[in-house]
Structure 1
Amino acid sequence: MARFLLGTIPVIGHVSPAVPVVRELIKRGHEVCWYTGQAFQTTVEQTGAKFAPIRSWLDYSDLKNVPESVMKQRDGIEGVERLKFDLKNFFIDPAAGQVKDLLDLLYEFPADVLIADSMFLGMAWVAEQKQLPWAEFDSSALALSSCDTAPFGLGLQPSNTLFRWLRNHGLRWFFQQTVLRPLRAYTNNVRSQVGLPPSPVYFFDRMSPFLYLCPCIPEFEYPRSDLPPQVHFIGPLLSQPTAEFTPPHWWDELNGNRPVIHVTQGTIATNLNDLLVPALRALETEDVLVVATTGGAATDTLNLPLLPAHVRIEPFIPHAQLLPHVDVMITNGGYNGVQIALAHGVPLVVAGQTEEKPEIAARVEWAQVGINLRTGTPTPAQIQKAVKTLLVDSSYRTRVKQLQTQMQQYNAPAIAANLIERLAEIKRPVLNT
């Protein structure tokens, strides 16, 4: 049996996809040591893995640990500048501390293979230092540069037209050589702190040369004629129904005759005035049942308008339990939420402009499984029109059902475990054949 050292960014969207893979590896008799934020200790230990906490860098699994000045600065910027700010503060700066902790862990837990989510730089650097094989898994849409796509972050779709191909080519050059070029020097400065030489690689083109796991199906990712051979589509890594779930008192209403519309604020961009409140206003006169979740915020502490009689609001409901009853989901575009909606055959209204959400919204539109509102602050009228369209235009549901059928052909945890075991066995790149 093999030993695996796993590192994940201490945010739910980076931790959750790893859970079913770790469970599968443990079930097969392997040992896993999982390094992430303190807030996820219980999650880690419930998989059977050994938990290793962050010690040498800011553990932002609890956002209270992030200095208020940092959050204020972040709130004052948007677009590409916020992207650069996030990459520096939450992904590049922590890498030196990650390396220190991981080297200490390797002394205590000599791993055969390293595993990390795609934004966890420290594991890649330790693999480089120690010459160890390592696997990488994506926690969002594939950001890798390609001759067939626009630069990641702009939310632009690929196209076969010459004009858009030239546009995308020019934007790629501009992004890599101008807009995000300072990130290369910034990253190399942090690399020098841990004794590594400069790297010429563009930030979003960092990738394990051994194994890269893409947790979706090809039908929901832009086609790339130059996709590296170590990239494997494994299907979505979905949360499973939990036995501990206690349905709210109104749960039987989900089985009524009205369409069920689910509004989710998500867990990162959590300003309820951006999406949840306008969605409630959009649907206040519609003959539907609205089920809203606040992203964890207690509903009795929220400054919400008077709720219509057909609205049910909770801090959190597991999607695995709720989505089988849902007809349309309104979301700001979190990757895991979108994936699980598609897996349940639910078309989407997407309104997100922070983090990588424009990219996910663009893929929803490109795959014809929902409507991209192209804003993070939609009006009630925009939401109402989109919901009505999805309820009456059967083409969206037909397309979602097609993707749902494709997803059902994949057992993502088993496929991932097979590939990781293969890497542990051969200690060289695991390539598509």
Structure 2
Amino acid sequence: MAKVIVGATPFEGHVGPVLTIAADLVRRGHEVVVYTGSRFEARALAIGARFQALPPDADLDDRRLDSLFPLRATLPPGPAQLSFDFETFFLGQLPAQVRGLRALLARFPADVVLGELGFWSIPVLSLSAAPRERPTLVTLGSIPLLIQSEDAPAFGPGLLPTSGEEARARNRAMNAEVRRLFADLQSFGEATLRSLGVPMPEYLFDVPFRRTDHYLQLTVPGFEYPRGDLPGHLRFVGTLPPTPSSSYAEPAWWPELSAGRPVVVVTQGTVANNDLTELIVPTVRALADLDVLVVAATARADGPELVRQALGDVPDNVRLAGFVPFDRLLPHADALVTNGGYGGVQTALYYGVPLVVAGVSEDKPEVAARVEWSGTGVNLRTGRPAVTEVRVAVRTVLRDPGYRSQAAIMAKEIGQHSPFDAIAEIVDAAARR
């Protein structure tokens, strides 16, 4: 049995994957402590893990970011918002996060510390001691690869890769421009790491990829741009399977999912769903007169009523829902319209469901670009599409069998990987050290 600390930035999209992995490690008999925001304590205890909250000055609540940090809401998606997020939520909270982790390690000498990409305590531990003098470090990649490479465009705008020396020269120039663009953030990061007694050994955004023992990307190679210069400890381990739902009460319309009409699911995910007029409402309007069944999964209890208010009249072919488990819904779906959250897209591909993607914040343009590049769906290249854009894209995905074929190929590749087994092998090896 190994001792494992599972850490995460206290945001839903960061915590969800590590809790899934923590649950599997508990089932395998390992002793697991979840180290993240206090609002996730009940969920950690429910899977049989122990829990340690982040220190108060790092214990953020991502449901209140706009009220706690009103400046953020005024920043456009892109470099300005990304710099703010790193200075405030990742590097800004890092000293307290590291302090709490070191105190936890003194009480619970873990064999493994596992965290997601934003859990910067892992590179700090890596830079602080030799491998034999610290736990084995495992980092999970739950967004597209943002490590710089001459084989792929710079992360951010969602550019598609091209091949050849001219493309590599362009990529090198873009990488240099990005480093210049984030020079102030680089300086902030260097000062933060110096305060913790460690150097900043390379470009800021490359550090979490290079300063860990195992970097495990939660997808398959077929969904990521090919690169010949990735670190040797970075490998693709496949998509996390959806958590099985056991207590969901199927609504009265559930049999309609198997009635023969194509089923189109639309969602804005569990985080970026404050304004349902961005994607859900336009999609409902776009598909109102098509011979399809539309399931609007709003992922919030008041979501159906908000959509009703925005629409006035709900079309006859639309079913409004709050929280619907995707492990139950997506096996019935013929297409998913989504704002491009990485986890939701991976879940759709797990079931071989082709996509229509509309997202512009955080990593969503990069997710959408990979959907386009892999042939598994249509990239609308906007976060607030027009009704006609959604209508054309959905009809294209439903009518062109190539999209479903490519999604099925991706599902087959996903089925050949087991992230749980890959992580368990690392944990078992660490316990034998």
The TM-score bracket by the shorter chain reads over 0.9
User: What SS does the corresponding residue of 1:389 show, helix, strand or coil?
Assistant: helix
Q: CA deviation at 1:198?
A: 4.1
Residues 161-170 or 39-48, more deviating: 161-170
Residue number in structure 2 paired with 1:57: 57
The answer to whether the Cα contact below 8 Å between 1:210 and 1:423 also exists between their aligned partners in 2 is no
Q: Does 1:219 align with 2:222?
A: yes
Asked if the contact 1:56–1:101 (Cα under 8 Å) also holds between the matched residues in 2, the reply is no
Residue 366 of structure 1: CA displacement?
0.5
Alignment partner of 2:417 out of 410, 416, 426: 410
SS in 1 for 2:69: helix
* Structure 2 residue aligned with 1:79: 78
Is 1:379 matched up with 2:395? no
The answer to whether the 8 Å contact 1:295/1:316 transfers is yes
Over residues 42-88 of structure 1, what are the superposed CA-to-partner deviations in whole Å (9 max), with x where a residue is unaligned? 22122221111122324333523x46261343344232211222222
What's the counterpart of residue 429 of structure 1? none
2:291 equivalent among 275, 287, 294: 287
Structure 1's 116 and 412: CA in aligned 2 closer, same or farther, altered over 3 A? Answer: same
> Judging changes above 3 Å, is the alpha-carbon distance between structure 1 residues 67 and 328 closer, same or farther for their aligned structure 2 residues?
closer
Q: Which digits, 9 at most, give the CA deviation of each residue in 1:131-186, with x for residues without a partner?
A: 4231111111121111201111121121114443322221011111x111221111
For the pair 1:189 / 2:191, whether they are aligned, the reply is: yes
Alignment equivalent of 1:310, drawn from 295, 313, 317: 317
SS of the aligned residue for 1:292 comes to: strand
What is the RMSD computed on CA atoms of the aligned residues? 1.8
Q: CA deviation at 1:347?
A: 0.2
The alpha carbon displacement at 1:275 in A equals: 0.7
Aligned to 2:370: 363
Q: Report the CA distance between 1:193 and its aligned residue.
A: 2.9
Partner of 2:111: 112
1:145 to 143, 148, 156: 148
Runs of 5+ unmatched residues, structure 2 = none
4+ runs deviating over 6 angstroms: none
1:430 matched residue in structure 2? none
* Equivalent residue number for residue 89 of structure 2: 90
Equivalent residue for 2:202, pick from 200, 204, 210:
200
Q: Matches of 1:152 and 1:298 in 2, distance apart?
A: 35
SS of alignment partner, residue 84 of structure 1: helix
Matched, 1:421 2:428: yes
2:67 matched residue in structure 1? 68
1:175 equivalent in structure 2: 178
Which residue is 1:23 aligned to? 23
Q: Which runs of 5+ in 1 are unaligned?
A: 427-433
SS of aligned partner of 1:262: strand
TM-score (norm 2): 0.93
Q: Which amino acid aligns with 2:104?
A: L
TM-score of the aligned structures, taking structure 1 as reference length: 0.93
Return closer, same or farther for 1:412/1:206 CA change in 2, 3 Å cut-off: closer
Q: Residue in 2 aligned with 1:134?
A: 137
Task: Tell me the equivalent position of 1:3.
Answer: 3
Query: Contact 2:18 / 2:115 at 8 angstroms: preserved in 1?
Result: no
Residue 57 of structure 2 aligns to a residue whose secondary structure is coil
The answer as to whether partners of 1:373 and 1:382 remain within 8 angstroms in 2 is yes
User: SS at the partner of 1:359?
Assistant: helix
Corresponding residue SS for 1:15 = helix
Give the corresponding residue for 2:250. Answer: 247
The answer to whether the 8 A contact 1:239-1:320 is kept is yes
CA 1:355–1:297: 2 relative to 1, 3 Å: farther
Percent of aligned pairs with the same amino acid: 37
Q: Report the secondary structure of 1:21's partner residue.
A: helix
Supply the AA of the counterpart residue of 1:152.
F
Structure-1 separation of matches of 2:401 and 2:86: 40
- In the alignment of these two chains, the number of paired residues is 424
1:334 to 299, 317, 341: 341
